[in-house]
């Protein structure tokens, strides 16, 4: 078990979205920004339109969770607008998509404890990797990762579908095994920290990694075959493993 010893792992692999950064909140803000502008332009009720956008997003994500399908939040903007009898032309669709992704890129949120944990892990001699899926816009995930101030703590950054081109997502053990190889360890020497029971916990477990489920930003709507070794709601809680005697 993870809690039995402070020396039972040599490397840590972090998920990015809703683990290191609070993507859920940023996306909701991006929707609010877009639909506030649409409401003003088309003279419709702003609160009602934003509420509908949030409802649509939640329903779509639940619907897609079981299929593990990728999705583009910005592609839902014209569909939500249509529900309010607003027909966006191609120029407007592109305009609102740019507003959406600009906000997502430039307004990433994260705990002020994140850098402290990463610094502590490095001080203890642990190697760190970041393993994430590509965003629906090519190159956006790498750009987002490079913008966070703690990027420099990671020895390895792997984006499934881009830096690991043979897989389109984190579904399956291959990205986890390849990330372990890049760190120079076997998977049994590594802990995976992520927010999803399927893509993070299940696949990491099947690859041989120990696992930590992070629930601080989003509750996993997906199901997995395995229970995580540890559940934390504050990213700094993981530091307890380093300090156990």
pLDDT at position 225 is 81
Q: How far is residue 64 from each of residues 7, 71, 95, 121, 207, measured CA to CA in Å? A: 39, 8, 26, 35, 24
Q: Which CATH superfamily is domain 2-22+110-243 in?
A: HAD superfamily/HAD-like (3.40.50.1000)
Mean pLDDT of 73-82: 91
Q: pLDDT class for 187, splitting at 50, 70, 90?
A: very high
Q: pLDDT class for 162, splitting at 50, 70, 90?
A: confident
Q: pLDDT class for 165, splitting at 50, 70, 90?
A: low
pLDDT at position 108 is 97
**3-state SS, residue 212:** strand
Own/partner pairs, 134-139, CB within 8 angstroms, 24+ separation: 134/159, 134/160, 134/161, 134/162, 134/168, 136/70, 136/71, 136/72, 136/73, 136/74, 136/75, 137/72, 137/101, 138/162
Q: For residue range 115-140, what is the model confidence (pLDDT) as tens digits?
A: 999 999 999 999 999 999 988 888 99
What's the mean pLDDT when you consider all of the chain?
89
Q: Tell me which residue of 73, 87, 75, 76 sits closest to 44, measured CA to CA.
A: 87
Furthest-apart CA pair in the chain: how many Å?
63
Given a cut of 90, is residue 241 above it in pLDDT?
no
pLDDT at position 226 is 84
Stated pTM of the model: 0.90
pLDDT at position 5 is 47
Mean pLDDT of 103-121: 96
Structure tokens at 48: 């009602």
């Amino acid at each position: 078990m993870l809690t039995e010893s402070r020396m039972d792992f040599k490397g840590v692999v972090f998920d990015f979205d809703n683990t290191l950064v609070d993507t859920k909140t940023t996306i909701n803000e991006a929707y609010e920004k877009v639909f506030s502008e649409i409401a003003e332009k088309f003279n419709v009720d702003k609160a009602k339109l934003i509420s509908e956008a949030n409802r649509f997003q939640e329903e779509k994500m639940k619907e897609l969770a079981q299929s593990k399908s990728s999705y583009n939040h910005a592609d839902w903007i014209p569909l939500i607008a249509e529900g309010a009898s607003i027909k966006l032309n191609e120029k407007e669709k592109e305009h609102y998509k740019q507003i959406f992704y600009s906000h997502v890129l430039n307004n990433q949120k994260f705990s002020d404890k994140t850098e402290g944990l990463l610094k502590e892990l490095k001080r203890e001699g642990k190697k760190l990797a970041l393993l994430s899926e590509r965003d629906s816009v090519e190159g956006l995930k790498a750009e987002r990762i490079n913008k966070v101030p703690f990027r420099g703590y990671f020895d390895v950054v792997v984006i499934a579908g881009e830096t690991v081109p043979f897989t389109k997502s984190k579904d399956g053990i291959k990205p986890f095994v390849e990330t372990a190889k890049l760190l120079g360890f076997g998977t049994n020497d590594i802990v995976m920290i992520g927010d999803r029971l399927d893509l993070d916990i299940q696949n990491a477990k099947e690859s041989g990694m120990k696992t930590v489920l992070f629930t601080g930003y989003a509750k996993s709507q997906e199901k997995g075959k395995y229970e995580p070794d540890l559940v934390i709601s504050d990213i700094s809680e993981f530091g307890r493993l380093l300090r156990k005697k």
